[in-house]
């Protein structure tokens, strides 16, 4: 097994991936500044996995801190062999209002990480990318060969880090092992309900908003558009259970560690679309709670349908999603009902 650095490991995707990696026997060093996550999540990750991890609290953009992380691992005779890079900002609307902050954290932060990795001979990376870089898709389902045409600063930063990684891989093709994983819509929680999605403030995304309506934290859901060219008129997305996504990261890491240097770019999605109204109904069935909603105007920047073509990940990693929308809602409710206020004030 390997010693790994997990940036942003206390976040939604990061924490679920840490459980899977600890259970697989990897040793983890987590770097997180807790700007959009909680230390409680990592306590619970260790409880669930029955194993401990090393925590470094700090900002990815701090070159002195990054150097310290790698140098101390080298000095201890347990060098960092690979990095899974989750740390970043990910709210589309916020990126429009604060572009420089997004370019700094997401792109300058990634560049600082890559420079330190290279200086220490650590040249295996799994990068948390996003389907948002496809913008308005021309074909659905969306293959990895679809044009990269982001429509918001967040998407541009993800596309730019992918570009940086492609240039780095091309500069030393016999050295770098890189996987860019383009997530579609990660939702749900660990089946234990001990860890889950805990967004700051009012949720931008559908699933946590529906979940907070069901638990009584929000009054009603606004459905952004009922006149889309879809079966029931509401937007269609490719929702993927966060545990499937976590297992996809383990599969990508295993593929990189076990094979020649390469640059992999893979969609991680189910290949199945679900509409907003289908998600509402599924969550009501799973929670036994009503989710009142009101159909309002479309949200600027939304597309009607985004669904992945996940065949390349199946071919290259032998990985496919295993869990259904009902599983996502059941596990998401297990988290929300056990943690009505998320990690805040948790024991």
Taking only Cα atoms into account, the Rg of the chain, rounded to an integer number of angstroms, comes to 19
Q: How far is the CB of 238 from ligand WQD (least distance, A)?
A: 9
Nearer to ligand WQD, 104 or 302 (CB): 302
Which of left, alpha, beta for 66 (phi over 0: left; psi -120 to 50: alpha)? alpha
Nearer to ligand WQD, 205 or 311 (CB): 205
Q: How far is the CB of 293 from ligand WQD (least distance, A)?
A: 8
CA dist., res. 177 & res. 118, Å (int)? 12
Nearer to ligand WQD, 172 or 290 (CB): 290
Distance of CA 218 to the CA centre of its chain: 24
CA dist., res. 336 & res. 198, Å (int)? 9
Q: What are phi and psi of 141, to 5 degrees?
A: -70, 160
Beta bridge partners of 237: 274, 306
Nearer to ligand WQD, 122 or 213 (CB): 213
Q: How far is the CB of 45 from ligand WQD (least distance, A)?
A: 21
| One-character DSSP codes across 303-341 | -SEE-B--HHHHHHH-------HHHHHHHHHHHHHH-TT
Residue carrying the six token digits 């004030």: 345
Can you give the length of the chain in residues?
Answer: 347
How many C-beta atoms lie closer than 10 Å to residue 218's C-beta?
18
Q: Are 85 and 66 contacting, i.e. CB atoms less than 8 angstroms apart?
A: no
Nearer to ligand WQD, 116 or 130 (CB): 130
Q: Which residues make Cβ contacts (< 8 Å) with residue 347, sequence separation at least 6?
A: none
Residue nearest to ligand WQD (CB): 235
How many C-beta atoms lie closer than 10 Å to residue 21's C-beta?
26
Binding site for ligand WQD (CB under 6 A): 90, 92, 130, 132, 183, 185, 204-206, 209, 221-224, 235, 237, 276, 299, 302
Nearer to ligand WQD, 68 or 204 (CB): 204
Q: How far is the CB of 223 from ligand WQD (least distance, A)?
A: 4
Catalytic residues: 154
Nearer to ligand WQD, 285 or 303 (CB): 303
Q: How far is the CB of 276 from ligand WQD (least distance, A)?
A: 5
Token pair recorded at residue 345: 């004030």
| Secondary structure (3-state) at 4 | strand
Element housing 43 (H / E)? helix 39-49
Q: What are the C-alpha distances in Å from 78 to residues 13, 27, 122, 174, 265?
A: 25, 10, 12, 23, 29
Q: How far is the CB of 111 from ligand WQD (least distance, A)?
A: 20
Which of 217, 188, 189, 184 shows the shortest CA–CA distance to 203? 217
Token pair recorded at residue 126: 């799994």
Q: How far is the CB of 288 from ligand WQD (least distance, A)?
A: 21
């Amino acid at each position: 097994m390997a010693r790994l650095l997990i940036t942003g490991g206390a976040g939604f995707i990061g924490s679920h991936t840490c459980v899977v990696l600890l259970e697989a026997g990897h040793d983890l060093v987590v770097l997180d500044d807790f700007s959009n996550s909680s230390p409680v999540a990592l306590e619970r990750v260790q409880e669930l996995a029955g194993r401990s991890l090393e925590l470094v609290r700090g900002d990815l953009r701090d070159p002195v801190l990054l150097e310290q992380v790698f140098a101390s691992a080298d000095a201890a005779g347990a060098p960092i062999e690979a990095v899974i890079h989750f740390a970043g900002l990910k709210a589309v609307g916020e990126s429009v209002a604060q572009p420089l902050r997004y370019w700094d954290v997401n792109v300058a932060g990634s560049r600082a990480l890559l420079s330190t990795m290279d200086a220490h001979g650590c040249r295996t990376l799994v990068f948390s990318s996003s389907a948002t870089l496809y913008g308005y898709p021309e074909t659905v389902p969306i293959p990895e060969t679809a044009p990269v045409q982001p429509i918001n600063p967040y998407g541009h930063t993800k596309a730019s880090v992918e570009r940086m990684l492609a240039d780095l891989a091309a500069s030393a093709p016999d050295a770098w092992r890189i996987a860019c994983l383009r997530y579609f819509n990660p939702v749900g929680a660990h089946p234990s309900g001990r860890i889950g999605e805990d967004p700051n403030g009012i949720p931008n995304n559908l699933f946590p908003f529906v979940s907070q309506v069901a638990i009584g934290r929000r009054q009603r859901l606004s459905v952004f558009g009922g006149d889309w060219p879809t079966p029931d008129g509401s937007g269609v997305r490719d929702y993927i259970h966060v545990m499937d996504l976590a297992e996809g990261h383990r599969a990508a890491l295993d593929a990189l560690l076990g094979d020649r240097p390469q640059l992999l770019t893979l969609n991680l999605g189910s290949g199945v679309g679900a509409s907003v109204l289908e998600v509402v109904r599924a969550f009501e069935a799973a929670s036994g709670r009503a989710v009142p909603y009101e159909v309002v105007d479309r949200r600027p920047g939304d597309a009607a349908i985004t669904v992945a073509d996940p065949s390349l990940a199946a071919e290259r990693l032998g990985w496919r999603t295993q869990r259904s929308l009902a599983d996502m809602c059941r596990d998401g409710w297990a988290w929300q009902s056990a943690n009505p206020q998320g990690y805040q004030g948790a024991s």
